[in-house]
Amino acid sequence: MTESRKTRSAGPLTYRGDAIPETTTDQRLLDRRGPADWVHTDPWRVLRIQSEFVEGFGLLSEVGHAVSVFGSARTKPGTHFYELGQEIGTKLAASGYAVITGGGPGVMEAANRGAQDVDGTSIGLGIELPFEQGLNDFIDIGVTFRYFFVRKTMFVKYSRAFVVLPGGFGTLDELFESITLVQTGKVTRFPVVLVGTRFWSGLRDWIRDTLLEEGTISPGDPELMYLTDDPDEVVEIVRKSHVDLARREFEAGQVADEAADLHAAEEASESS
């Protein structure tokens, strides 16, 4: 007869004999002795990244149709582009779109402010920066991310369009990321609207004259961006793309939510 060996179960694991650890999982969890540098290791970071995705998806999945507005963090209240950003925020919100920004100052604040002016939904996806900042005062729903790439996923996943006002490197990064996603077919659902023809036309010309000329982009690629100075046209481009997409999805038989989408978008279009 074999003598029964000492056994310990730990969740789905079974340990017997000498393989049994000296402590249980709970004991190790509750023991705070030992070095704490594991909180700065990659496996721990992976969990933090995961928790940022969970928080972001949890918060934003319940927001209705939304548009992201990007632009300089340095634009001051009272300037042309601040006022334009505010007006665009107002017009998008009045058309039923939640306004999502990077949650910071400048154009971000202006667009959030515009949305709040008409009691629209004003969302800020902030980013932790080396200097203290906090979200601007015109945000109803806010999250502050540690990681830029998690935050970017949220902008793309929950927006129907990207509206880009004049800005610096941060804005250009957001612009080119979105254009690349559209160019490579990773997202099909949104237009990228550049606001400020004088500011952006040099870039647009360079894209046409140099990138296209050198063959580093395809002939249709420059058309992936719209260019305007008119806030009403911004809203019109967003709405038209929304309605077109809903119609395509409806015709493709993806009827459940998309049928409701189409209906809502067309109603919005008729009532304006």
Ligand X SMILES: C/C(=C\CNc1ncnc2c1ncn2[C@@H]1O[C@H](COP(=O)(O)O)[C@@H](O)[C@H]1O)CO
Contact residues: ligand X, CB under 6 A: 70-74, 102-105, 108, 126-127, 129, 133, 167-171, 174
Q: Where are the alpha helices (DSSP H) in the chain?
A: 25-30, 42-60, 80-94, 107-117, 148-157, 169-183, 197-206, 213-214, 231-251, 256-271
Closest approach, Cβ 47 to ligand X, in A, equals 24
Closest approach, Cβ 83 to ligand X, in A, equals 17
Sign of the Cα torsion 100, 256, 150, 52 reads positive
Closest approach, Cβ 123 to ligand X, in A, equals 12
Sign of the Cα torsion 112, 114, 116, 119 reads negative
Closest approach, Cβ 180 to ligand X, in A, equals 16
Contact predicate 178/225, CB 8 Å: no
Angle at 161 between CA 157 and CA 202, to 5 degrees: 125
d(CA 114, CA 99): 9
CB nearer to ligand X: pick between 58 and 134:
134
Closest approach, Cβ 111 to ligand X, in A, equals 10
Exposed/middle/buried for residue 147 (C-beta within 10 Å: 0-12, 13-18, 19+) = middle
CB nearer to ligand X: pick between 38 and 169:
169
CB nearer to ligand X: pick between 148 and 206:
148
d(CA 77, CA 94): 21
CB nearer to ligand X: pick between 87 and 109:
109
Residue listed under structure tokens 């721990």: 44
Closest approach, Cβ 102 to ligand X, in A, equals 3
CB nearer to ligand X: pick between 13 and 172:
172
For 20, the 3-state DSSP assignment is coil
CB nearer to ligand X: pick between 111 and 235:
111
Closest approach, Cβ 164 to ligand X, in A, equals 8
**Sheet containing 66-70: which strands, arranged edge to edge?**
141-145, 122-127, 98-101, 66-70, 162-164, 192-195, 225-228
CB nearer to ligand X: pick between 108 and 245:
108
Give the residue at shortest CB distance from ligand X.
Answer: 170
